[in-house]
Structure 1
């Protein structure tokens, strides 16, 4: 076979192989830690998908995408998902007891480091000069303690609808900690672990009341649960539930009202007639 013809055949084969290899590239379902694809229960069975296909994802409470958008678009490319779907922790920075910081009252994103200046005679634990926002929250409480002081703490503070997991002692040494838990159907908000620092306990958590929807309330509004068959459903605070009209009824409330969020133990029901 002439050299020129052999070279031409080699080029064609190389191009065909490259094309065939590119045709096989797909994107698997994106498992997003602390987040989820929009209505993933509908689309999950369609994976893997071809390049060019796009989806939207949102993050769980206290997390956000790098773009800070409520819904972030990701597109399947030959190199994978673009941008890479991520949900980063959001850390609210309160005021600093016995100190100050320019970040007081602001919310920071996972990976941010915040300088803290303590008052004279006070310091952060381990004499650190800053705290960092991590996946589980701040690396340490933003609290300055008196340098060299080793005062003990009394009994841990009580919280409504919750308690510590161990039998309380009369006093605790500096550095001792206790863990809180909420009663059934209550949602814990804040840090579940409290630490004794210079005679004072760190900020205790709260137990947020759950919402309950029953068959009687849904019949009153001519609605039913959209995705579940339960006649009675407990919903944690800040979680959402979707309703739809019962057969033969039409919506009176706006469409947005059928996706309801539990707020302090209360639900606002949509109505159909």
Structure 2
């Protein structure tokens, strides 16, 4: 038995339609834009009846996905066409590390924005120092500043920077060296360049001495150019001239 017109389907059409079909003949359905075939696209005439017809289902995407580290950019819509892309931006403390878009592909959202946490917490603690603008969390590129307490002096960069989740190297606070006239008198020496009663010198600074008039070096020459080492100075010594 022949078959009559193939059944109509919602949001789809039959290609090459005619009024009558013989046993075994096939027709093929196509869906309108924004829809796709669900089932077999072609049906067959089987003794006066058509085989099971397919459906055209929407290829739109609904319900934008949400992400803990990214937020949607733009105006939200009820639905998005297949092939359409939407963009996201990373939240504070995060940095984009790849694509910021996702795409609707046949009713499914494909991809996700890749956001990397580049914030810093807990600036490194430095002995004998305090931190200015100390707080729980810092953005990438933000800095903290260290200040030494008391008579300690800073060695290194006073600012430490958050770079991609890691702090740069912190400074150190070293005790300064105090050189008094009493100590120089004991060793029969004086400062080569100046003669204050008290001098403060930073760690790793060089200090140069000479013998007082009427005295000669007892310790080797190199000891007369000494270095302040965390509050300590090794003094050269001079002995009194004779004859």
Normalising by structure 2, report the TM-score: 0.46
Considering only CA atoms, is the larger Rg found in Structure 1 or Structure 2? 2
> More strand by proportion, 1 or 2?
2
> More helix by proportion, 1 or 2?
1
Normalising by structure 1, report the TM-score: 0.42
